[in-house]
Amino acid sequence: MIGQLHRVQNAAARLVLGLRPRDHIKPALFELHWPPVHLRIDHKLCLLMHSATVLCCPRYISDIVQTTAASSRRQGLRSSMDTFSYTVPLTYTKFGQRVFSVAGPSVWNSVRADIRHIKGISIFKRHLNTHIFMAALCNRAGHYIFILRFLLLAIYLLWPPYVIGGHYIFAL
């Protein structure tokens, strides 16, 4: 299902930017600020977990997840004092990992602690969007190469080089 949504997202990006079918899609998604579908799902899970943390969601959602402070197995541990992290139940199947009581806490605990401690929803969304966008850029080593090429292109456009003796010299 996620693969089909990726194809729809890629087709929409090609349509919006007028790209050909063989053009690379990663720079287009970067230009449109569209993270991959799996990170959009993580974004929605984090928003639900934030609403469960600050208790502005229906009770049935906050009852599904359990904080590490409320866990009886963590008494006496340093993590038992953290009210902004949740215990992730153990599952043995791929289907079990997709359940909100498992997927929500695992995605929430993967977010940086300073973002998890934000109470206001608008500030939380802004920081979470930045976190998700950076995760979309830097989740693989190939993306670092893309960022490096993008930065080199920006430097080239801002400071055109001079060719002296067959060597490129950048004047700053």
Tokens of 93: 């199947």
The pLDDT value given to residue 36: 86
Tokens 């966008």 belong to residue: 133
CB-CB contact of 65 with 45 (8 Å): no
Q: List the domain boundaries for the chain.
A: 1-34, 35-139
The pLDDT value given to residue 14: 93
On the question of pLDDT at 62 being above 70, the answer is yes
Tokens of 24: 């690379």
CB-CB contact of 27 with 146 (8 Å): yes
Q: Which residue has the higher pLDDT, 17 or 154?
A: 17
- Could you tell me the pLDDT band of residue 78, with boundaries at 50, 70 and 90? low
CB-CB contact of 42 with 36 (8 Å): no
Strand 161-164 and strand 167-170: the pairing is antiparallel
Backbone angles phi, psi at 99, to 5 degrees: -70, 145
pLDDT single digits (tens) 92-148 = 888 888 888 899 899 988 888 888 888 899 999 998 988 888 777 665 545 556 666
pLDDT single digits (tens) 25-40 = 888 888 888 888 888 8
The pLDDT value given to residue 163: 56
On the question of pLDDT at 12 being above 90, the answer is yes
Which residues, other chains included, contact 10 with Cβ-Cβ below 8 Å and sequence gap of 6+? 25, 29
The pLDDT value given to residue 2: 82
How many CA atoms does the CB half-sphere of 96 hold within 13 Å? Answer: 6
Average pLDDT of the chain to the nearest whole number: 79
